[in-house]
Chain A
Amino acid sequence: EIVLTQSPTTMAASPGEKITITCSASSSISSNYLHWYQQKPGFSPKLLIYRTSNLASGVPARFSGSGSGTSYSLTIGTMEAEDVATYYCQQGSSIIFTFGSGTKLEIK
Chain B
Amino acid sequence: DVQLQESGPGLVKPSQTVSLTCTVTGISITTGNYRWSWIRQFPGNKLEWIGYIYYSGTITYNPSLTSRTTITRDTSKNQFFLEMNSLTAEDTATYYCAREGGWSYYFDYWGQGTTLTVSS
What bracket does the count of chain A residues touching chain B fall in?
A: 20 to 34
CB of B60 within 8 A of CB of A95, answer yes
Interface string of A27-54 (1 = CB under 8 A from B): 0000011010101000111110011000
Given contacts A50-B106, A92-B106, contact A45 B47 (CB under 8 A): yes
CB of A99 within 8 A of CB of B47, answer yes
Interface string of A46-72 (1 = CB under 8 A from B): 110011000010000000000000000
Residues from 80 to 117 in B contacting A, C-beta threshold 8 Å = 96, 100-101, 104-108, 110-113
CB of A92 within 8 A of CB of B105, answer yes
Does chain A have a CB within 8 A of B56? no
Does chain A have a CB within 8 A of B26? no
What bracket does the count of chain B residues touching chain A fall in?
A: 20 to 34
Does chain A have a CB within 8 A of B63? yes
Chain A residues whose CB sits within 8 angstroms of the CB of B106 once the complex forms = 35, 47, 50-51, 90, 92
The one of B48, B64, B107 that contacts A45, using a Cβ cutoff of 8 Å? B107
Number of A-B residue pairs with CB-CB distance less than 8 Å in the complex they form: 58
Chain A residues whose CB sits within 8 angstroms of the CB of B108 once the complex forms = 47, 50, 56
Does chain A have a CB within 8 A of B62? yes
What are 16 A-B contacts with C-beta separation under 8 Å?
Answer: A33-B104, A33-B105, A44-B110, A44-B111, A44-B113, A45-B96, A45-B107, A47-B107, A47-B108, A86-B45, A92-B104, A92-B105, A93-B105, A99-B49, A102-B45, A102-B47
Please name 14 further chain A to chain B contacts, defined as beta carbons within 8 Å, in addition to the given A32-B104, A35-B106, sorted by A numbering.
A35-B104, A45-B47, A45-B107, A45-B110, A47-B107, A50-B106, A51-B106, A56-B108, A90-B47, A93-B105, A96-B49, A98-B49, A101-B45, A102-B45
Interface residues of A (CB under 8 A from B): 32-33, 35, 37, 39, 43-47, 50-51, 56, 86, 88, 90, 92-93, 95-99, 101-102
